[in-house]
Amino acid sequence: MKSLRTGFFVGVLYIIAHTTYAQQAGQGNFNTFCAVCHSISKGKLIGPDLADVHLRRSDAWLLEFITSSQTMINKGDADAVALFNEYNKTLMPDAPYSADQIKDIINYIKSKSPSYVATTETTIASEPVEPAEPVRSVNEATEEEIQFGELLFTGNTRLAAKGPSCMSCHHVKNNRLVGGGLLAKDLTDAYSRMDEAGIKAILTAPPFPAMREAYQYNSISEDEAYALTAFLKYADEEQYGQTPRDWQQYFLAAGGASFLLLLGVFSLVWSKRKKNAVNKKIFDRQVYS
């Protein structure tokens, strides 16, 4: 009987330890990958609030969608397509986790949802939620901060951690800027699509694979994220008053001028070339004598 009681308590402790570990793993992965775009019971960010999402979608659907939302959209899944269209066709990146890790994330979301009811006899106390510190809105950004954000965006001022400038991959329609990169989405209306919280979240904890790789060891600071967000808000508000320039003509003119300059330099160098053999003067003297 004693051995049975011991085995029972060991089993209970194992279940508690396993559940605690899974919750911690799910929480860590949620905060790393999901919290950039989603909250639980705190409202919409870039994507929907995930509170009680398990009541709206099955676990199998959630697992498949988190694994690769793009695959489900391409297959024509009605719910996936509806979410894609509802949230400005912003594609959720594929989760860099195994199926078991994604299940831990789903269980963590369940545990933080209002409808959650502990199914074990021992209820694991959740961590108290600390009140969020008041954050200065970009609506209060000064002209200097907006200009600083523009300099960071274009790369005229280097990010403190030496990461690549936003303009390397992104474009913003603004008369003061030369056209940016075309490797990623146009950010002219980014503020309207994602709002302040979404942009800051992406800048400080990039969820997209290419961006995450680029800033893995070159994180954007909070102050830099604030300035960049302020600039993107300004660019969004001013976009309709901008007249996009045809920078192609400037590049062609600069290329033509450079070609003419190089042609002149080459002509000057060519005019001073040796026009005769090295021994011609010696040969001429020998012939004359």
Which CATH superfamily is 141-241 part of? Cytochrome c-like domain (1.10.760.10)
Question: Which amino acid is present at 176?
Answer: R
| Residue located via tokens 């009987």 | 1
If residue 138 lies in a helix (H) or strand (E), which one and from where to where?
Answer: none
For the beta carbon of residue 289, count every other beta carbon within 10 angstroms: 5
Task: Give the model's pLDDT for residue 244.
Answer: 61
In a 3-state reduction of DSSP, which class is residue 215?
A: coil
Q: Which two tokens stand for residue 88?
A: 């400005």
Q: Which two tokens stand for residue 260?
A: 């003419």
Q: Which two tokens stand for residue 70?
A: 């793009």
Tokens of 133: 């510190």
Q: What is the pLDDT along the chain (289 residues), one digit of tens a residue?
A: 545 455 444 444 444 444 455 556 778 888 777 877 888 887 777 778 888 888 888 888 888 888 888 888 888 888 888 888 887 777 787 878 888 888 888 888 888 888 875 444 444 444 554 554 556 888 899 999 999 999 999 999 999 999 999 988 898 888 777 777 778 888 888 888 888 878 888 888 787 778 888 888 888 999 999 999 999 999 998 888 776 665 667 778 888 889 999 988 888 888 777 676 667 777 777 777 6
CB 88 within 8 A of CB 193: yes
Topology given in CATH for the domain delimited by 2-111: Cytochrome Bc1 Complex; Chain D, domain 2 (1.10.760)
- pTM for the model stands at 0.57
Which residue in the block uniquely carries the two structure tokens 């969004």? 236
Q: Range(s) for CATH 1.10.760.10 in the chain?
A: 2-111, 141-241
